[in-house]
Every structure is written in structure tokens, then in C-alpha cells.
């Protein structure tokens, strides 16, 4: 099975390294198409002969094509690679906002998978939501999910509109976590900790809380109740969050991201 990754940005490189590290694909079967020589200079795992800078006949000889370019670059790219696409190939797109129908119209491919990964895929802790066209059979979908899972975990959805929802929740999600962490770090500094101390306090608290939650069957609400004792410090903090309707604000923020994802798709 030969795989071509088009685009050697962060996610393109992440896929290349994850596929090879998992030994799901051998280096001789992995190709990269990237116009910039500098972008692929750090990808030492892929043989130089398998790194191309212009579209060509080699594209038609691959089984899976991964589109890891910026959405705005896709129209120009599609014109370059379309002559080499055939209907036996599987096209996996991680381009935000580009619908399956648009990929079909631009490339003529019928076996299309659309996925939304997130940043922690770089360390094998990613979350990817994906969907597919009707022409993808179960065996092909199984192969694709195994590839995707080399970067973390995945969820398959039949409804393509849920990809936009995934963009708002898991795709953009790491930024929300960092936003909350940064606010806690700055508060810690104001309380007298050094920056490095505050970062350690917050980082370890987040990691510990997530691991504890993952190792139990308790809900987030149940864990909150375990931490917050009557009349205690946690209850005082949660009261301020509630009075400022932080929960509603978070929901509004996620729906703003969701609506923007839909706009980009249109």
C-alpha cells in the first residue's frame, strides 16, 4: 500500500512520522508532495527519492492520497493533481471547511474521507473525527481508521455536518485549555508564585485531573462535588464562576467556533 501526503506542514509531518513509527507503512511506500524544500528538510525518515516538489505520474501509482494543505491552497492544487487521480484511490482530506462534495467536484475522486484532527496528534495523543463518502467500503474504512489512530484516537460519524462540530470541540479545543491554563498561571503569579512555579502547579493539576477522570467512571459533575466541600475554598471559586455564567460563556464560544466552521465550508 502506497501513501502520498500532499503538504508538509505540521500535520503532514505528523502523519508521516506516525505512520512510519507504527510500522503501518514502510518508508519506501510513503511519498510526500511539497513545493517548499525547506518544509520537508526535517523529515529525515522519508527517502529523498520519495519527496517530490511537482505533481506527476507518480501520484496515480499511490493507493491513498492525504490532502494536508491549507484550504485556500486547494483550488490551485486540485488543478495540478486532478489529471493523475483515478477512482480506485482513496483521498483523505484534513482541510478545514472543504466538503466532500467540493473535493469530488475538483478531483473527480469518489472514495473520499474527510477528517478533523487536532494538535496533540503531534505526540500521539490526538483526537480525530472523520466521515466518508458512500463509495468507501468497510475494509477501506478500517484501513483508514488504523492510519488515523497512529496519531491518537478517532470517532467515525455518518453525518458530515458533525465535522464542523468536531472543529469547534476537539479541533479548536486545545486552545481553550491553554486559555484557561494561562489565566490560572497568571493568577498564581499574582498570588506570589514565580512563573515557573505557577506553570508547574497548573500543568500538573490539569494532567492529574484528566488522568484521574479517565481512570474512573465518575462524571465531571461528580468529581466537582468530590473536590468542593460545603463552605470551602473550591465552593467559593465555583460560586464566582457560576455568578459570571462561565458555563454559558463557554457554550457560546464553542457555538461561535461551530458557526464559523460552517461559514468556512460554504
Please report how the helices 233-243 and 246-265 are oriented relative to each other, as an axis angle in degrees rounded to 10.
Answer: 50
Q: Domains in the chain and their CATH numbers?
A: 3-160 (3.40.50.720), 173-265 (1.10.3730.10)
Nearest to 130 by CA among 86, 165, 87: 165
**Rounded average pLDDT over 192-208:** 98
Of the listed ranges 43-47, 66-70, 103-107, 122-126, the one predicted with least confidence: 43-47
Query: Does residue 56 have a pLDDT over 90?
Result: yes
What is the b/e burial string over 108-123, where b = at least 16 CB atoms within 10 angstroms of the residue's CB? Answer: ebbbbbbbbbbbbbbe
Bridge-partner residues for 6, per DSSP? 33, 67
Cα separation, 113 vs 16, in Å, equals 18
Burial category of 192 from C-beta neighbours within 10 Å (exposed 0-12, middle 13-18, buried 19 and up): exposed
Q: Look-up: residue for cell 482513496?
A: 90
The reported pTM is: 0.89
pLDDT digits (tens, 9 = 90+) for 84-133: 999 999 999 999 889 999 999 999 999 999 999 999 999 999 999 999 99
Amino acid at each position: 500500500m502506497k501513501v502520498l501526503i500532499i503538504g508538509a506542514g505540521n500535520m503532514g509531518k505528523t502523519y508521516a512520522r506516525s505512520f512510519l513509527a507504527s510500522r503501518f507503512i514502510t518508508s519506501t511506500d510513503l511519498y510526500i508532495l511539497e513545493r517548499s524544500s525547506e518544509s520537508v528538510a526535517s523529515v529525515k525518515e522519508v527517502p529523498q527519492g520519495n519527496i517530490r516538489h511537482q505533481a506527476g505520474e507518480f501520484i496515480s501509482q499511490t493507493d491513498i492520497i492525504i490532502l494536508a494543505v491549507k484550504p485556500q491552497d486547494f483550488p490551485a492544487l486540485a488543478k495540478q493533481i486532478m489529471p493523475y487521480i483515478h477512482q480506485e484511490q482513496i483521498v483523505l482530506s484534513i482541510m478545514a471547511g472543504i466538503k466532500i462534495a467540493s473535493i469530488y467536484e475538483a478531483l473527480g475522486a469518489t472514495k473520499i474521507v474527510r477528517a478533523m484532527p487536532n494538535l496533540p496528534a503531534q505526540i500521539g495523543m490526538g483526537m480525530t473525527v472523520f466521515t466518508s463518502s458512500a463509495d468507501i467500503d468497510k475494509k477501506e474504512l478500517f484501513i483508514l481508521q488504523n492510519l488515523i489512530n497512529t496519531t491518537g484516537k478517532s470517532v467515525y460519524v455518518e453525518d458530515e455536518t458533525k465535522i464542523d462540530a468536531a472543529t469547534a470541540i476537539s479541533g479548536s479545543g486545545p486552545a481553550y485549555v491553554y486559555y484557561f491554563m494561562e489565566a490560572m498561571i497568571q493568577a498564581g503569579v499574582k498570588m506570589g508564585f514565580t512563573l515557573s512555579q505557577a506553570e508547574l502547579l497548573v500543568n500538573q493539576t490539569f494532567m492529574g485531573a484528566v488522568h484521574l477522570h479517565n481512570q474512573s467512571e465518575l462524571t465531571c459533575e461528580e468529581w466537582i462535588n468530590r473536590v468542593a466541600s460545603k463552605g470551602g475554598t473550591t465552593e467559593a471559586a465555583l460560586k464566582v464562576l457560576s455568578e459570571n455564567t462561565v458555563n454559558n460563556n463557554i457554550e457560546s464560544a464553542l457555538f461561535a467556533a461551530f458557526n464559523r466552521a460552517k461559514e468556512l465550508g460554504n
